[in-house]
Chains A and B, each alone.
Chain A
Amino acid sequence: MTKPFRRAAFSAFGASAAAFALALVTPASAQSNDPIKIGVIAEAQAVAGASIPQAAQLAADEINAAGGVNGRKIEIISYDNHSSAAESVRAFQRAANEDHVNAVIASYISEVVLALEPWTGRLKTVMVTPGAASDVITQNIAKDYNNLKYTFHGYATSTSIADATCDAAKDLLVKDLHMKSAVVMSEDAAWTTPLDVEYLNCLPKIGIKVIDHIRVSPDTTDFTPIYNKIEGEKPDVMITGISHVGVQPTVQWKQQEVPIAMFGVSSQATNSSFWQDTNGAVEGVLYQSFAGPGVAVTPKTLPFVAAFNKRFGNNPSYAGYTSYDEVYYIADAIKRAGSTDPDKLVEALEQTDYVGTIGRVQFKGKDSPNPHALKIGPDTITGLMLQWQNGKQVNLWPEKVANGKLKFPSFIKLGAAN
C-alpha cells in the first residue's frame, strides 16, 4: 500500500467514523425534516410509462407547495427501467438500499411488477403499481401475506377490467345495437390471461356468444391473417385486450377496412397522442378506461388533466392518473401513520379511503382472495367506455358522465343490428 493511499484510506475511515458517531447523537427530530422519498420505476421510453414519473412529480410539487407532509417535503426519485424486469429489480434494490426511499411507485407492465413483488418483502419497501393489471399480483399477496403485504395494486385487476368492459358492452352493444356474438382478440401477456378468462365468463352472461378466442403474439407486425380469420367467423364485434401492441393492429384494421367494430381494452388508445401515432386510423375504436379527457369522474380529474397538460404539453396516459393519486394517498398514509416505518405504512395504506382522479380509492382487505386490490364498483371506481371520434376521445358510458354518442366509420358493418 502506498503512503498517500494509506493516508487517504485512513482519513476516509476517520470521516466515516465521525459521521457514524454524529449519526448516533443526532436527535430524531432532525430526521423528521428530511424529505419523504418516493422512488418511481417506470418505462420512460413508452408513452404509457412516461406519464408515471411526470404525474408523480406534479403531485409531489403540489403537496410541497401546500406545506408538505407534517413539514416534510416529498422528493421523487425516478428510474428508467427500459421496460425490462431485470433493470427494474436493480432499480428497486438501488432505491431501497442506496437511495433509502420510503415507498416505490412501479411500472405499468405486469411482468415487471411480478418480478418486483418478492423484493418488496425482502427489502421491506412499500410498492404501489399505477398500471399493471394481472390478478396474480394480489393472488400472491393472499398466499404469502406476511412477506408480500408491502405490495399494493393501485390499478384495477384484469378481472375487474374485463367486468367493467362487459358492463359497458351490456348497455352499448347488447341493449343499443342488439349484438349477439364476438371474437376475443388479446395479446399474449401476463395481464391478459386473467382478462381473457373473465371475458369468456362475463360475455355470455350479457348475451354475447364468444365464437373464437385469439391470442396474438406481441411481436406480430402483420395482422392481416388474424383479421382475415376473424372476419371469416362473422362476429358482431371484436373484444380486444391489447396494450403492448396498439398502433399496428389499429392502423391495419383501418387500412384493410375490417368491417367489425373494436371494443375492449386498448391501452395505447388511452393516450392523447394515439390519434397522431395512428394518423387518425383509431377513428371509431372503443376502449375501456378509468379516466379520460373532459370526463369529470371526480372533482379532481379535470384540474389534474389541465395541470398535467400545462406542464408537459400532453394529456396523461391511464397510468398517469393513478400515479398522481398514489403520491397523494402514500403521503396521506404517512401522515396518518405518523411514521415512514414500512409496517406502519402498510397498515395505514390498508385503511386508505381517498377520492382521487379515477374515483374513490379503497383496498380490499387481508382476507379477500385479492388483498390490496382496488375495490371496483358503483361506490368506488366504475370505469368508462370511450370512443375516438374526429381526433377526440369521447366518453359514451356510463350515461351520467357521457359526452357523446356511439358513431362508427363507414367501413364498419353492424351485422346483427340490421
Chain B
Amino acid sequence: MGVLFWQILIDGFAISSLYALGATGFALIFGVSGVLNLSHGALMVAAVVAAWAAGNDLHVGPYAGAAIGVAIGFGATLLTYFLIVRPLQQTRKIREEEKEIFILTATLLWGIMLQELIAYFYTNNAKTVAPIVQGVVSIVGVRTPANEIFTSVVCWIVIGVLWLLVNRTRAGKAVLAASMNPRGVTLMGIELSQVYIAVWAIYGVLVGIAGVLLGMFLGVSSYSVGPLTASAFSIVVLGGLGSVSGALIAAYVVGYLETVTAYLISPAYRTIPPLLLLVAVMYVRPRGLLGRR
C-alpha cells in the first residue's frame, strides 16, 4: 500500500505537470484573444515528430533534436496564427459575433490537415523523442525514470518563467491587461494585434516544449491529435475558461484523477472520471473552478 501511494503520487505529479504546461498556453490565448485553438494537439504532435525526425533523419543529438522540435512547434503555432486565425479575426466579411465559431471550425480543420500530413509523411505509428536524461532513480522505494523527474522540473521552470513574464514585465502586464479588458488596453495606446502576436509566440514556445517533453515521456502518434486537444480543452474548461491559474489546478486534478483510476481500477478507464467530473462541474459551477465569466 505504501509503495503504491508513492507510485501514484510521483507518476501523477509528472503527468499533471505536463498537462499543466500543455494547457497553460491554451488557456492564455483564450483569455487574451478569445480563441479556442482546436489544432492544439496537432501542433504538439508536429513538435514531437519534428524532434523524432531530426534525431533519425538528420542524426542530431538529443539536445539538438529537442531544440528542433521546440522550434518546429513554435513555427507551426505562429503559422497557425498568421495563416488561419489572424485573417479570420481581421476580415470584414464575417460578422464579429460569428468569428469565434469560424475560428473554432477553421482551427479544427487545420488540425485535421496537419494530422493527415504527418500520417502521410511519417506514418501513423507512434513516435518517441530520444530522452535527454536516461536511467532510473529510487524515490522512497519507487523506481522512477530520471526522465520523469526532468519532465516535471522543466515544466515548472517554464511555468515559473511565464509567471514572471506576465507579472513582472511591461509586455507581460499588457498581455494580462488585454485578457481583462481589450478595449482598455487599446485606449492605453497599446496595439492589440501586437499583444496577440506576443501571446501566440509565448503559446508557440509552450506547445513546443510540452510536445517534446510528452514525446520523451510517453510518445505520441498522429492519432493523439484529437485526445491531446480534448484533454487541454477539458482541463481549461474545468479550470475556468481563460484562467491560467485555474488551468494549472485543473491539470493536477485531472492528472491525479487519471492516475488513481489507472492504478486502482484499470488503465483502460483512465479518461472517464475526469470527463464525469467535467460534466458535474458544468452542472454545479458552469464557469469552472476559477472562471471569471
Contact = CB atoms under 8 A, between A and B. Distances in A.
A50 B124 CA distance: 11
B267 A216 contact: yes
Interface in B143-174: 143, 145, 147
Nearest to B131: A255
Contact of B123 (A50, A216, A223): A50
A292 B20 CA distance: 44
A394 to B, nearest CB: 21
Interface stretch (A22-30, A55-63, A121-129, A273-281): A273-281
Nearest to A276: B56
Given A222-B262, A257-B136, A247 B267 contact: no
Contacts of A219: 223, 227
Given A45-B120, A188-B268, A228-B263, A255 B125 contact: no
B262 A45 contact: no
Contacts of A248: 126, 128, 218-219
B142 to A, nearest CB: 9
15 contacts: A45-B120, A50-B123, A216-B267, A221-B220, A222-B15, A222-B218, A225-B11, A225-B267, A247-B125, A247-B126, A247-B128, A247-B219, A248-B219, A251-B128, A279-B128
A256 B143 contact: yes
A277 B267 contact: no
A177 interface: no
Contacts of B105: none
B40 interface: no
Nearest to B261: A225
Interface string A67-110: 00000000000000001000000000000000000000000000
Contacts of B125: 46-47, 246-247, 268, 277
Nearest to B224: A221
Interface string A237-274: 00000000111100110011100000000001000000
Contact of A217 (B15, B135, B227, B268): B268
B127 interface: yes
Q: Chain A interface: which size bin?
A: 20 to 34
A32 interface: no
Q: Chain B interface: which size bin?
A: 35 or more
Contacts of B219: 221, 247-248, 251-252
B234 to A, nearest CB: 16
B32 interface: no
Given A220-B268, A222-B15, A252-B218, A257 B143 contact: yes
Interface in B212-239: 218-224, 227
A279 B270 CA distance: 27
A226 B268 CA distance: 10
Contacts of A251: 128, 219
Contact of B268 (A216, A268, A278): A216
Q: What are the 9 A-B residue pairs with the smallest beta carbon separation, nearest first?
A: A247-B126, A217-B268, A225-B262, A279-B130, A45-B119, A276-B56, A255-B145, A251-B128, A225-B263
Interface string B1-25: 0000001000100010000000000
A257 to B, nearest CB: 5
B55 interface: yes
B123 A246 contact: no
Contacts of A224: 11, 262
Nearest to B134: A255
Nearest to B62: A279
Nearest to A248: B219
Contacts of A276: 56
Interface in B43-98: 55-56
B173 to A, nearest CB: 38
